[in-house]
Structure 1
Amino acid sequence: MANNLWQKRLSDYLKEITKYLRYIFNDHLVLVMVFMLGAIGLYYSQWIKTLGPSFPVNPIMIVILVLVLSLTQVNTLLKAADMVYLTVMETRMKVYFKKAIVTSFFTQLPLVWVAFIVLLPMYTKVMPLTGWQVLVILVYLTLLKGWNILIWWFIHKQPQRLKGNIVIWFVNAATVALVVLFPVWWMIILLVLVAAAVLLGTIKAGAHCYIKWDVLIAKEEARLNRFYRFANMFTDVPHLKNTTKKRQWLNWCYKGISFAQKNTYTYLWRRAFIRTDEFSGLFVRLTLIGLLITIFMSNTIMAVLVLLLFSYLTAFQMLPMIRLYELHPTRLLYPVPMINYRRSFVQLLRSLMAIQTVLFIAVVFITFNFSAALWMNVLLLLFYLFFNFIYAPSKIKKLTDSF
């Protein structure tokens, strides 16, 4: 029964994901990705040649590998209704969860391999390795990913998970650091034994604990919601659930809005952006990533292309927010013309993109010389004006014509 249920859930999940992937990886995006990957690969190979002995390769290697190893989750494919119908059958669900653990391992392992292979040329530039050493480190990282999957499962069976999560990050950081700094076979064997001892202790501690169905279902819903948010940039996703947080410490952002009917949606849009993780989190993440990448770049053309790309991604991914109140009863209760609905959203978009553009301009002036920074910032300003004053208003009008 459990085996059949897993096969059915996995089949339905793959069909659902494939349906949205067809919209995401369309011909245009694939073409852009090919050119972008080619340009990034060429720049990366040239950049590696410039590395000197003083470059902090080891810290970069450790941080990235620890992140891809620690950001682990068992994809259980559980649904909210399982709290009612499957909890009574927990003892018969062992096969189901074993298959979930194995599937999660094989689907998340490629990210570890890709990260290691991409970082390897940079690593070997300052620390030459033999072919056997590379293979042994790759095998160790594979085992460590399996360790992360297993220990995540047993930690999430326990009532207190904070200590367990701290242990995961600590073991990953310590073991990866030792392997990167001392890539010898005896060190790897020692670390495998240490990790095995920690795992056995965690299994023993959680052996008599019942499965935390509410936690697993919440984790699974959050994981799917992250994918649906990404897919929502390319097509409408009816399954998408927005999560909101009060964020009282940002209440000062509303104080400048005067109490007038024309500002109804100005207030609502600003409040929606601040309280909705989907859009505020996206804006902050893309802005910070764009800033960090630019700081470490020396090629002006690549830098301005990266900044324009992040500006476009941010602005374009903010557009679906216009549908937030499409079917909401408040839009029907407020006797406010549709033109105010659109205008207020455009004002919010322009304000947000202005903040991001100012930050990008500042980091360009800090990172590059004045003459290069000048023409780069002119391009950023031109993009800001084109997108927010020409493209966005017409696109928003098309999106709201059916309201």
Structure 2
Amino acid sequence: MIREKARDAVVSGARGMALAVMAWTASIVLSVLTVVSVVYIPLGIGVVTTPTVLTALREYAVKRRELAASWSGVRIPARYAPLPEPVRGGIMGRVELTNALLRDPATWRDLRWLWVDTLIGGGVAIVAPALLAEGVLGLLMGAGLWRPIVEAGGTYWFAFVPVSGQGTALLAALLGCVWLALALRFNPVLVHAHFRLTRAALAPTETAELTRRVEKLTETRRDAVDASAAELRRIERDLHDGAQARLVAMGMDLGTIEMLLDKDPEKARRLLAQARQSSVDALAELRDLVRGIHPPVLAERGLGDAVRALALRMPVPTEVTVELDGRAEAPVESAAYFAVSELLTNAVKHSGADRLWIDLHHSEGRLRATVTDNGRGGADPAAGSGLAGVERRLGTFDGVLAVSSPAGGPTMVTMEIPCELS
């Protein structure tokens, strides 16, 4: 236990030193560059430099968010507004990008955090290594370090202890033990406090978060309405061109059969067989249409079995792992099923993969589905590969999509939908 605490204290001290150095170097430099660049916008110079400086500021803030999560478990959301796409070149492109960056409230939160990090955050972080350093120095004083110091200049003050001999040196060593005890107890707390301060400065306010969610829900509702309208048009087209046409033809055949029953029974028999086949084809098309709207296996057996059935129809070997302790609501299951179906279709069409993997599980109040292939990689949601449509479908349920697809593969697409299982 003591060994683990000592290790944590030393690690936290090193992290505190790193955070203090960053606060008093990178944070100061970026804050000065940002202020100077923005001030010079009316002169035209700032239009050229501001996008570069603010982009560097964003990257620095993102890195500090990552450190907060990995070093202290403090998660800080990043709510940056999307930049204009595509980004134009030339001076007009710089003007457009500067305007977009300065209009984003997250930019001003980042700048506010720079000042907080410099003035307060660095001071909180430096206490952790300072406790360790003072503790070690006190022990060294008790071990005899006081002798050359005192001989060179007289009394040495260690905190409030005037070290002038072996007795006072032992008091300094005792005080050093106190500093070390405080480091064992509080160093991880100090680093955690630094990151909590970072979160207070960087995280969006409740009002800003609520505004963002309203905007997101408005966008996803519009996408859902558009998707529903497109789906209704597809169903109408499929019915008109498929089952409806076959039923009309079958009705005409039955009318002809009625007239030929007495005149030409043999031809009537052939037309009757044709009408029977038309009815079979119309029924098959209606079943396919219903399956496209909501697969029966999804309604009867749930998402796991529906995805397994989907994998069996894939032209390449597909491995499915399901860890679900219950069922989500029907709309969530339907959205997840069709999203997985679209991802599998994309992988088969575009990746050149010869093997696919699907992983479904639920944890921390989120349904997670991951589709992985061993293809050529390079998937881009902005390239019209169908991933953007999947992202819009998930957005209706406040879900998110993450794509990892380096050149050469593999491609891993992960989606998350907030939900609870029954």
Q: TM-score, normalised to structure 1's length?
A: 0.23
Structure showing the higher helix proportion among its residues: 1
Q: Larger relative contact order (C-alpha < 8 A, sep ≥ 6)?
A: 1
Q: TM-score, normalised to structure 2's length?
A: 0.22
